[in-house]
A = this chain, B = another copy of it.
Amino acid sequence: MNRSQPHPLRIGVFDSGFGGLTVLRALLRELPQAEFLYFGDTARLPYGAKSRETVARYAVSSAEFLVRQGAEYLVIACNTASALALDDLRAAVPVPVLGVVETGANAARTHSRTGDVLVIATAATVESHAYAAACAERQLRAVEKACPLLVPLVEEGWIDHPVTRQVIGIYISELMRDAQTAVLNPDTLLLGCTHYPLLRRFIEQAIPAHICVIDSAEVTAAQVAAAVRAPHAGTQRPPHFYATDSPAKFQRLGSRFLGRPIENVELVDLESLEAC
Query: Contact residues of A with B, CB < 8 Å?
Result: 42-46, 49-51, 54, 148-149, 151-153, 155-156, 158, 163, 166-167, 170, 244-246, 249, 271, 274-275
Contact = CB atoms under 8 A, between A and B. Distances in A.
Nearest to A58: B43
23 contacts: A42-B50, A43-B44, A43-B50, A43-B54, A46-B46, A49-B155, A50-B245, A50-B246, A51-B246, A148-B152, A148-B155, A149-B156, A151-B152, A152-B152, A163-B163, A163-B166, A163-B167, A163-B170, A271-B271, A271-B274, A271-B275, A274-B275, A275-B275
A167 B148 CA distance: 16
A257 B166 CA distance: 27
Nearest to A244: B54
Contacts of A249: 51
Nearest to A253: B49
A42 B42 CA distance: 15
Copies in the complex: 2
A271 B271 CA distance: 7
Nearest to A162: B166
Contacts of A246: 50-51, 54
A245 B167 contact: no
Nearest to A150: B152
Contact of A51 (B50, B156, B245): B245
Contacts of A43: 44, 50-51, 54
A71 B38 CA distance: 42
Given A45-B49, A49-B155, A271-B275, 18 more contacts: A43-B44, A43-B50, A43-B54, A44-B44, A50-B246, A51-B246, A148-B156, A149-B149, A149-B152, A149-B156, A149-B158, A152-B152, A163-B167, A163-B170, A166-B166, A271-B271, A271-B274, A274-B275
Contacts of A151: 152
A275 B272 CA distance: 8
Contacts of A245: 50-51, 54
